[in-house]
Amino acid sequence: IAGSGHQFKKGVIRPIGAPPTYPSAQEEITILSSYIRNTPPIFQYFDINNEEINILPARLKDTKLMKVYLVINSNPERPPQDFGLESFVQLRNLKTEQTE
Q: What confidence tier does 3 reach under pLDDT thresholds 50, 70, 90?
A: very low
In terms of residue numbers, what domain contains 24? Answer: 1-34
Question: β-strands 43-46, 65-72: how paired?
Answer: antiparallel
pLDDT at 21: 95
Asked whether residue 21 falls in the same domain as residue 45, the answer is no
Structural domains in the chain (count): 2
Asked whether residue 45 falls in the same domain as residue 7, the answer is no
CA 48 to chain centre: 19
pLDDT at 59: 79
Asked whether residue 7 falls in the same domain as residue 30, the answer is yes
Residue-wise pLDDT for 5-36, tens only, equals 688 999 999 999 999 999 999 999 999 988 99
pLDDT at 81: 86
Asked whether residue 63 falls in the same domain as residue 91, the answer is yes
Average pLDDT value for residue range 51-59:
85
Asked whether residue 42 falls in the same domain as residue 28, the answer is no
**What is the DSSP code string of the chain?**
-TTTTT-EEEEE---BTTTTB--GGG-EEEEEES-B--SS-SEEEE-TTS-EE-SHHHHHHH--EEEEEEEE-S-TTSSS--EEEEEEEE-GGGPPPPP-
Given a cut of 60, is residue 57 above it in pLDDT?
Answer: yes
pLDDT at 76: 75
Asked whether residue 65 falls in the same domain as residue 95, the answer is yes
Instruction: Give the mean pLDDT of the chain.
Output: 85
